[in-house]
Structure 1
């Protein structure tokens, strides 16, 4: 019989006698390397150290989650009807999610550039960074009557859109090129940046249709860029989902060994997705929600739905103990043990993502909010809907089982023999395997030292996208800095000084004469063309110089400057977000485990997998290694929003696995008081779950690295590698080794801390 087999009568491992007997265990010959065993007396029985306080009392009946599971199991019909009504009610709004959510919001609230955009939109006819630029490039001069007809039709088309304010025709010396073959029509922004992205969605197609054999018409500008990016991103998401679903289903069937059981994660995912998608549509009526919120919500709903279902279903199978317990009793035990780990995991994910709210950007906050909403619905379904389904299925959960799965069904309660053997090997040789895992992680993380970040360039959208074609035409006709034109708003009486100092700034190619606001507000607008491309780092030096030398109260803005301000906000907030995520993650583990040492180690080891993933990202996306294989043009940096947002996502996933492993370890330690039983038992009972769940996540995330624009590729590769490194090297090697090396100390806590913290048992009596 396996080392962790259980006597049904006393429900504790075989090495420990029943509860009424003294806590004595017979020494396993293989335990001679354990600190708890005296090497000079290997064959004598040894009294174990006093078990932790939670082991001194076994719960009398199910706990809170056990009672919740029992209620759901006994009122399954009510639970099914409730979830059906919720999904139908919210799911009715889900089809509108792609049109209701916004495409902008990539700004730093409170920055000078956002203030400059607001002033320009209010006092200069919408000539702000969110205005649309209609580029007309002709073989003949733009003064040609045929070309003028095309320009007139473009102006009329833009003016008919209610989101467009004033339409400014091409101006000689400003928006007509020197060779006279390229002109820019400005369609002012009358609506919010989010609405201007929708205006770009509506206008870019009809505008392109105005093109003739000798005249090309394309819309460009920041709003069109986000419109094109969202379209490319949406297409990539759909393509990636098509690629990932077959792989996901195959892994689920292998992991569960049953077609019926494999369908349970899909049930949770669909319920959570439908509810969260409908909720996002409703929330979008209150404030803008980024369309990326739904994309990330879909990934997390699928990933966590699989994780949670795996953990609960495996435990439910073990809890049935060969049919000796009823389905309701098995559900109660499942919820009292694995259910607590799932709840803790969900709370940890929510806490990790909530730290992103510290970034003053609507896009970041709505993306984090969308993921958190999906996690809430999946967690609610896991703790209510899944217990009801398990109780109704009972033994039928193994229906349509694969042949090899039927043969192993009887060993379910003893855990995975392979992972149990792996645990024993780690116990005997901790330094050998731990040192290798640590060395690999540190080597992968080393390139992070040279990591550079910046906001995305125009190359993140396809070469044939309207914004990029128009962008290229403007640069060819007006110079490299024209697409990143600066908008400088001067207070009353300072226009001449602002214009003169702007023109004399080294990084400025040309500064146009100051334009007084037509509404008499006293503001003046100076538009300046930088010498470099908007994505060139030298632009930041130019902007910093202008802000330092121009008179007090002057606002420097423009689409490129908004990107710089957002990058600055991200650089400032990233250390704070990382610190908050780590601190809150540690506190959650401390409350749950009542063990400060292992809570700290479990939190800090997450930094290793994160660092390794970003080290690999630097080699690929900054240095260009493998760019041809993945089909992208390297920008020479990682997108600026990646470190803060990806860190929160990676940490949330890593803590998900940490909770599963340590919750299982604590359960075994509560029952036995043995560090060895805690470590090997945790791997035996949760190792396969972590391995299978990680396999699904890696498959889902890496499909995004194979299609679509650059940011989804970054997201897919960074998250996929992070999950791979975390599961394979940290949770299944390094963290168990740390449990082995710290022994009883891993689970100890000062008396004063035990009095302060709640006692949350993970075992079920």
Structure 2
């Protein structure tokens, strides 16, 4: 039966729709042109889906750098003028119980050199050098495969070469490639396995929660169908974009998680509202979808815009990985949002009342309002200070540990103990010293080479200085490598690097893999205030435009900031102080990864504002309809509380599954985002924000006449 037939049989009025808003008219259009919309989406999914399977293979494994930094310049010069003896070079560690000078040891080293030479991505191959890359006891050697390609291609080279090189190991000889490129290769592999494991767990858990929330299997399956369409499309787009600009593999990882969580949120809001419109028995299916789109659809659109605005601020960080991660999540949100506002209405119109098929025996499908949340709202109305004070105290208490938060770039501990990069790292430290895996690279003009060596040799933070290396192309540059006296992840290394940069000749540039991490951490620290400021301002402006009320827009923004601070307080306790490390199965680094505050702040704030829009849009709808502060507060919870609770439960389940397996960063992601949603959905949106509506009263919805003239007119009530 076609959509037109549905409308005719339900007695649709030909004049219906004259009072619809833009989204209501969009709903009617897709209802009347369901076949066109369906075919268009099928084409999008098929075409982009053809590229989606390439996503894990094609996307970048590198990009964690501060563009324009001194250390990145050193790496570029090393690739160009020193045969690729740069931070992205592949270091193949060979260790034996006996000196490697015997025939077996020499054979293994010759074979490593041969295999590195055979790869076009490898630049100059440097055999072990006595006093530099050959240990004093002759039992540990390092073969350097210079970087002859981009950092992304070097990570791919590490992925391709590592298994073959490891296969050269014998009963008494261990071959373990290491270095930054191998580290990222190993990490990406471990991360992919963790993400797939988490997805396997989260999907059935999500479906179970949705079935309970919707009370019907068919309705519960719609959010997952919608999310899958958005994810496949987004994955295909990321692969296509990667042909033009390198895209981090993390972009897809975050996109998968965020699209699943937001797609379910959006679909929940629309499906619940559509069922309510259908149960009212007034009008046709097209009328129901128009009413749904003009109310819930408008809230979803504004929520999506808020999420996109928050994530766009991350683009201010001059790091390829951060920009591509933010772009990846934004692309997934755009596709999920488009599917919610076009494909989902078509499916809902096609299903009609069959959306409630396979209902649970105890489900009350005709209820849009929740009596339980209505009673809860009335309790908050009667005792606002008691409940609001308790919520505020809890959030403040959890936020306090954030004051002692320290950050640094991830250490080798993020890798599993059996990873090649970690094994090689440990072997190098054991044979050459704690600072050996984090060699400093100083490039200067030939005329300053002697002064560079003297400064390095005199510095107490430098354990050993290697002989100066002239450039391979006679460019007039010299490379001097130095071994710091501390572990590459030690907080003391930053002071050593700062001191050297002050004391070395002005022409000298200091770099190396560990220094690149320090420069990126500094860049993230300096970018954080700007990112936070932009997110807060843009978030406030979006709420102001949506609600037309400056007081509640400001308060809604501030409480979102409070829940974000509480989530980072939890992160400090877990990942910096190690509370619960055994439960989540990780080894504490003593700090939170430096990339977390910038990116997680944007994601947490986006989610927080997502729930804020849902609740306040419902409250604004009731305010416009009744002009009653009490009705606006109580009805907003009665009508949207169940949806927020169910969506929050799904998000918590999705995020916390990422904390159960894999390396440390996905665990950080799962715990921080899961804690944020737990606090925001259940403490802020279902307690604190309704209390604020109660206490501010009519002032919450006050809007000066001059502001109303400037802002576009947006209403949530449907005539």
**TM-score scaled by length of structure 1:** 0.91
1 CA distance for matches of 2:193 and 2:366? Answer: 45
Between the aligned partners of 1:158 and 1:302, the Cα distance in structure 2 is 42
Show the counterpart of 2:290. 332
Query: Which residue number corresponds to residue 385 of structure 1?
Result: 343
2:515 aligns to what? Answer: 561
Mapped pair 1:78 → 2:32 = no
Pairing 1:667–2:621 present: yes
SS at match of 2:510: strand
SS state at 1:493 partner: helix
Q: For 1:255 and 1:321, how far apart are their aligned partners in 2?
A: 17
SS of residue in 2 equivalent to 1:494: helix
Report the counterpart of residue 574 of structure 2 in structure 1: 620
Aligned position for 1:749: 703
Is the aligned partner of 1:285 residue 2:216? no
Indicate the residue corresponding to 1:495 in structure 2: 449
Contact 2:275 2:366 in 1 (8 A): no
Where do 1:443-522 residues align within 5 Å?
Answer: 443-522=397-476
User: 1:244 Cα deviation (Å)?
Assistant: 1.2
Do structure 1's residue 678 and structure 2's residue 625 form an aligned pair? Answer: no
Alignment partner of 1:178: what SS?
Answer: coil
Structure 1 portions without partners, runs of 5+: 1-58
What is the deviation of 1:553? 2.2
Q: Quote the residue 1:212 is aligned against.
A: 170
Q: Which residue of 2 aligns with 1:401?
A: 359
Retained in 1: the 8 A contact 2:178–2:422? Answer: yes
Offset from partner CA, 1:411-454 (integer Å, 9 cap, x none): 32xx1111111111111110010000000110111111111100
- Cα distance between partner residues in 1 of 2:661 and 2:63: 24
Does residue 230 (structure 1) correspond to residue 188 (structure 2)? The answer is yes
Q: Note the 1:1-400 alignment, pairs <5 A.
A: 61-400=19-358
Matched residue, 1:410? 366
- Quote the RMSD (CA, aligned, Å): 0.8
DSSP-derived class of the 1:183 partner: strand
Q: Is the 8 A contact 2:155 2:181 kept in 1?
A: yes
1:548-568 deviations in whole A, cap 9, x for unaligned?
111112110000000000000
Residue 60 of structure 1 and its aligned partner are, at CA, apart by 5.2
1:540 maps to which of 494, 502, 525: 494
Q: 2:556 aligns with which of 602, 610, 617?
A: 602
Offset at residue 149 of structure 1 (A):
0.3
Shift of 1:761: 0.6
Rounded Cα–Cα distance in structure 1 between residues aligned with 2:542 and 2:687: 23
Residue 275 of structure 1 and its aligned partner are, at CA, apart by 0.4
Equivalent residue for 1:712? 666
Q: 2: CA distance between counterparts of 1:238 and 1:411?
A: 37
Q: Is the 8 A contact 2:215 2:365 kept in 1?
A: no
Q: What is the rounded CA distance, in whole Å, between the counterparts of 2:695 and 2:280 in structure 1?
A: 36
Unpaired runs of 5+ in structure 2?
1-16
8 Å CA contact 2:313, 2:534 repeated in 1: yes
Q: Number of residue pairs matched?
A: 703
Cα deviation 1:633-688 (Å, max 9, x = unaligned):
10000100111100000000011100000000000000000111111111011111
What secondary structure, in the 3-state scheme, does the structure 2 residue paired with 1:162 have? coil
Number of the residue aligned with 2:12: none
Indicate the residue corresponding to 2:542 in structure 1. 588
For residues 549-592 of structure 1, what are the alpha-carbon distances to aligned partners after superposition, in whole Å with 9 as ceiling and x for unaligned? 11112110000000000000000001110111010000000011
Separation in 1, partners of 2:56, 2:673: 24
The CA deviation string for residues 32-86 of structure 1, in whole angstroms up to 9 with x for no partner, is xxxxxxxxxxxxxxxxxxxxxxxxxxx9511100000100011111111000000
Once the 2 structures are TM-superposed, how far is the Cα of residue 321 of structure 1 from its aligned partner? Answer: 3.8
Give the ranges of 4+ consecutive aligned residues of structure 1 lying more than 6 Å apart after TM superposition: none
The 2-side partners of 1:592 and 1:612 are apart by: 26
How far off its partner does 1:492 sit?
A: 3.4
CA–CA distance in 2 between the matches of 1:722 and 1:63? 34
Q: Deviations over 1:179-198 (max 9, x none)?
A: 11100000000000010000
Deviations 1:601-628 (A, max 9, x none): 1011011111111111111111111111
Q: Match of 1:437?
A: 391
State the Cα distance separating 1:750 from its structure 2 match.
Answer: 1.1
Counterpart CA distance in 1 for 2:618 and 2:582 is 43
Q: Distance in 2 between matches of 1:322 and 1:395?
A: 12
SS class of match (2:586): coil
Question: C-alpha separation between the residues in 2 aligned to 1:630 and 1:223?
Answer: 27
Distance 2:335 2:681 in 1: 25
Q: Give the secondary structure class of the aligned counterpart of 1:752.
A: helix
Q: Could you tell me which of 740, 745, 754 is aligned with 2:694? A: 740
TM-score scaled by length of structure 2: 0.97
Distance in 1, Cα, partners of 2:718 & 2:443:
67
Distance 2:280 2:615 in 1: 25
Asked if structure 1 preserves the Cα contact closer than 8 Å seen for 2:56 and 2:249, the reply is yes
1:38 is matched with which residue? Answer: none
The equivalent residue for 2:607 is 653
SS at 2:124's partner residue? Answer: strand
Per-residue deviation, residues 520-552 of structure 1 (Å, max 9, x unmatched): 111100000000000001000110011111111
Aligned residue for 2:365, secondary structure, equals helix
Q: Deviations over 1:207-250 (max 9, x none)?
A: 00000111111100000000000000000001111111121010
In structure 2, what is the equivalent of residue 13 of structure 1? Answer: none
